[in-house]
Amino acid sequence: MAVTDLAIGRIKEMILSGTLQPGSRLPNEADLAESLGLSRNSLREAVRALTAMRILVSRQGDGTYVSGLEPHLLLETMAFAADVSHGHTAHQLLQVRRLLEPQATALATGRLTTEQLDGLREILDRSAAAKGIEEFVRLDIEFHRTIVDAVGNPVLSTLLGILSTHTQRLRIVRGAQYAPARERAQREHEAIWRALTARDAGLAAGASAFHVAAVEDWLTGGAAGDGPGLPAP
């Protein structure tokens, strides 16, 4: 592992120094291994690891390239950590979401078009009629994603998507009484939508903060069954 880490570090240094630019093709394996003073096996392991991190991209029959290094794509590698988070770790992710999402909602208030607001209304109507947890969580994600995407910052959209993934949301909702959780989430989503429709950024941020804080409160105190049911994340 130490040799592979060294190989990863040396390729990263080439990218940071500008020797390898975003979108550029890596030299052939033999030449690159020789120039870096590495075995070809170590180089292959490093390339595999960097490909998994989205730093490199393998193109079948055409070689390996440095990716575009767009931050929102590199952040996607964090999604697995969010998927498997439990307990204290899940709470920490929610804390970060509570810091970011209300501000994103406030920013979206002045940027959502009439058509997008109508689309949010349609999502809420479908959510109210959803028959199962899977459909309800999918619509919950669509509701929040539509709002955040209106800000126009793909890094923010990706980061907030990672902070509360589909897998994590399903696990949290299944840990609560589903019907009360759904009803409460619906009310909170309606409050966010009304604030957005009124173009009231402060009210929208407050409604969003209340919504995320309700989930956080459940994780810290209601998980033992004290609360009336967890709102959808």
Label residue 75 exposed, middle or buried (CB < 10 Å: 0-12, 13-18, 19+).
Answer: middle
Q: What type of residue sits at position 52?
A: A
Dist. CA 118–CA 81, nearest whole Å:
34
Kindly state the tokens that stand for 144.
């929040």
CA-derived radius of gyration, the chain: 22
Within 10 Å of residue 31's Cβ, how many Cβ atoms?
10
CA 15/CA 37 separation, integer angstroms: 17
| The residue type at 216 | E
What single-letter DSSP state applies at residue 23? T
User: What's the DSSP call for residue 200?
Assistant: -
Helix (H/G/I), strand (E/B), else coil: 153: coil
Angle in degrees, CA 102, 70, 161, rounded to 5? 35
Q: Would you state the pLDDT for residue 223?
A: 42
Q: What's residue 171's pLDDT?
A: 63
**Phi/psi of residue 177, nearest 5 degrees:** -75, 115
**Neighbour count for residue 43 (Cβ, 10 Å):** 23
170 with 134: CB under 8 angstroms?
yes
Mean pLDDT per block of 10 residues along the chain (233 residues) reads: 82 89 90 88 89 87 86 76 72 87 96 97 95 87 95 92 73 62 88 97 96 76 42 57
Q: Quick one: pLDDT at residue 185? A: 86
The pTM for the full model equals 0.73
Contacts of 1 by beta carbon, 8 Å cutoff, 6+ apart: none
